[in-house]
A and B are shown apart, each in its own frame.
Chain A
Amino acid sequence: MTYVRHKTPLPPAGKVEVRSTEGEGAANRHTLFAFVRPLRLTPEQVSWLQISPLALVLFCLVAAPIVLFLVVSFFDYDRIGIYPAFLMDNYRDLLTTPATLRVYISSLKFALIVWAITLFLGFNIAWFLIFHIRTTMMRTILFLLCAIPFWTSGIIRTIAWIPFLGRNGAFNQILMALHITEKPLTFLLFSDFAVIITYVHLFTLLMIGPIANSMGKIDPALLEAARDAGASRWRTMTDVVIPLSKTGIALGSILVFTQVMGDYFVVKTMSGGQSASIVSLLSNQINAMEYPPASANAMLLVIFVAITVACMMRVVDVRQELVK
């Protein structure tokens, strides 16, 4: 982005007209209201005006609720309501129940498995689309084919697996028709397997997109230069392509990881009640109107996600990538 920062000098006293050199919001003297003293805005003020609605929403509806979690997490509560207090009980309960550790481990396990699978799929599919498909037209079509299901509701895509994986489901019938198994497999549905399959189905695109975007910026001459220098396919991948697409890998990883960590619906629906996630536990507490412990739980999760994402963002400057 070529942007030269303009330093607009302050108008010297006595001078009336100094118009901001840029800024879409700046009023100017050709308007109907020429008699009104023109509103003079510095470029920075114009920017503030432009981002203000976004800032308002994010501060009121994202930042403020986090502060609210912090406050409410110390409150007292009973079946009827919540009461201002400064109790450590909610945190003590949260950190001492084995259930907390169990759901964190369970969610982390899902997140890591799904991350590994989607990374493998995403990297290889992006590679195929970028380095093996030669025409832009074909690449766009194939990418759209991957992206189209993403526009269907996650709920629908989740329940789509039920008739597919069930005891009499399509998958079992195919297996039996091919005589691969005699009896229908029962572990397919309502199991960790089903949860992972569904996650992979829902989130692989989040990996393909950013990685393909990074790979697309690699000059194909670099691969030839590597080949010229005697690099095998494998060395070309490890020494050239992976370092140059690590931004996409990190971005995709952040998206997949946070989506899995934040899920409650897939776990509830597909595990058949056998597994829980952090958020499904939290949703139970919310449904039971236990807001202070839920807030403490939320606080812990926010900190956990913030730390993990911050760690991943240390690998690459995501801001640089997005703004550039």
Chain B
Amino acid sequence: MDPRFDVELVAVTKRYGTTLAVDDISLRIPRASYCCLLGPSGCGKTTTLRMIAGHEAVSAGDILINGDNVTLDPPIRRGTAMMFQSYALFPHLNCLDNVAFSLKMRGIGKAERHAKAREFLGLVHMANYAERLPSQLSGGQQQRVALARALITRPKVLLLDEPLSALDPFLRIKVREELKRLQRELGITFIHVTHSQDEAMAMADLMVVMDDGRIRQSGPPREVFEQPVSAFVARFIGGHNVLQGARGPIAVRADRCRLGVAGDSPHVSGRVAAVEYQGTMVRVALAMDSGDEASALVPDAAFYSAPVEPGDAATLVWSEPDAHVLAEM
């Protein structure tokens, strides 16, 4: 049997006492894909990841990995490996022994497990640091070692809990590329939890937006960005104005909005609240007369040909085809 999905969640629920952390979610992650679980803090994304990993019991529902129901299996039998947010490297063991730990637990001899561990340290370009203790490494280096330690178990699914949050912005973009490359080369599924929509859009094949214990929308990033289903998704992934259209709420991308004069095209009026120069674009934040907020991303040339200042009256204009009707509020 060759299942089409690496991971399937079937009506998975997690309750802590009376509070629902994860509320009846179902999700299918195709083979060898990069899946990002995206959402604000407390939305249940980390709990979902931990349930897939086997570190958190499932209150109801089933988890299938590679077609096998693993709901009651211990972590090691699931074919998953987890990379922890804090990396969780054993502080008393050097890099080599950290990476070799799971092999040691399986009773593999010292020479063999060290050779194997060196190989995986090489994979993440950390072979020269084998004898160092975790405390002697930088955050980025610790992360590589944690990655090697997770990969040495030859997982079918690698689970990453906010892997980039502890890194500085420049490093973050480099590691992003590297994780994506590794995922492609190894041909396994990565499930990556993040609260950053940039990160999710840059990396994901499948982007899953969660809120309040539920999946709000899932799909390829482009689809989610082009067609957000709700005001929440539109706001959370950013770059959208949620406005009141003729037939209910609509979302319009900020870069498709202009500052102009009230004419035939749809428009709303308000005042300029702030102007932010962003290099290629200028973002003009508006306080609408209705009390809502909106913004227009204007190319710099267009902005400077007719500049506005905070306090000026302004009208936000867009064209009808750019308005996307939201299915739900």
Contact = CB atoms under 8 A, between A and B. Distances in A.
Contact between A and B in the complex (any CB pair below 8 Å): yes
Interface of A: 219, 221-222, 224-232, 235, 239-240, 243-244
Nearest to B56: A224
Interface residues of B, number: 24
A226 B101 contact: yes
B90 A240 contact: yes
18 contacts: A221-B86, A221-B88, A224-B84, A225-B82, A225-B84, A226-B105, A227-B74, A228-B153, A229-B76, A229-B149, A230-B105, A230-B106, A231-B105, A232-B105, A235-B105, A243-B92, A244-B90, A244-B92
B84 A244 contact: no
A235 B103 CA distance: 13
Interface string B89-123: 11110000000011011100000000000000000
B90 A225 contact: yes
Given A224-B75, A228-B81, 10 more contacts: A219-B88, A225-B82, A225-B88, A226-B101, A227-B55, A227-B76, A228-B53, A229-B101, A231-B105, A244-B91
A222 B88 contact: yes
B105 A229 contact: yes
Contacts of B153: 228-230
Contacts of B74: 227
A221 B84 contact: yes
Given A222-B90, A243-B92, A229 B102 contact: yes
A226 B153 CA distance: 12
Contacts of B105: 226, 229-232, 235, 239
A224 B55 contact: yes
Contacts of B55: 224, 227-228
A224 B161 CA distance: 13
Interface string B227-261: 00000000000000000000000000000000000
Nearest to A243: B92
Contacts of A228: 53, 55, 75-76, 80-82, 102, 150, 153
Nearest to B92: A243
A230 B91 contact: no
A239 B100 CA distance: 13
Nearest to A231: B105
Nearest to A223: B88
Nearest to A229: B102
Contacts of A226: 90, 101, 105
Nearest to B80: A228
Contacts of A235: 105
Nearest to A226: B101
Nearest to B75: A228
Interface in B248-298: none
Contacts of B101: 226, 229, 231, 239
A158 B232 CA distance: 67
Nearest to B103: A229
Contacts of A225: 82, 84, 88-90, 149
Contacts of B102: 228-231
A228 to B, nearest CB: 5
A222 B55 CA distance: 12
A226 B101 CA distance: 8
**Chain B CB within 10 Å — which of A227, A229, A230, A239 has the most?**
A229
A126 B137 CA distance: 31
B91 A224 contact: no
Contacts of B106: 230
Contacts of B92: 243-244
Contacts of A240: 90
A229 B89 CA distance: 12
5 A-B pairs with least C-beta separation: A229-B102, A230-B76, A221-B88, A225-B88, A243-B92
A243 B149 CA distance: 19
A222 B82 CA distance: 11
A230 B105 CA distance: 6
A243 B101 CA distance: 14
Interface string B55-83: 10000000000000000001110001110
A244 B134 CA distance: 14
Interface in B143-190: 149-150, 153
A35 to B, nearest CB: 53
A21 B247 CA distance: 69
A222 B92 CA distance: 11
Contact of A227 (B75, B91, B150): B75
Contacts of B81: 228
B153 to A, nearest CB: 7
Contacts of B91: 244
Given A229-B153, A231-B105, A219 B53 contact: no
A267 B189 CA distance: 66
Nearest to A246: B92
A244 B90 CA distance: 9
Contacts of B90: 222, 225-226, 240, 244
A200 to B, nearest CB: 30
A281 to B, nearest CB: 42
A243 B91 CA distance: 10
B154 to A, nearest CB: 12
A225 B55 CA distance: 10
Nearest to B91: A244
A225 B92 CA distance: 14
Contacts of B84: 221, 224-225
Contacts of B150: 228
Nearest to B77: A230
Nearest to A224: B55
A224 B76 contact: no
A189 B92 CA distance: 45
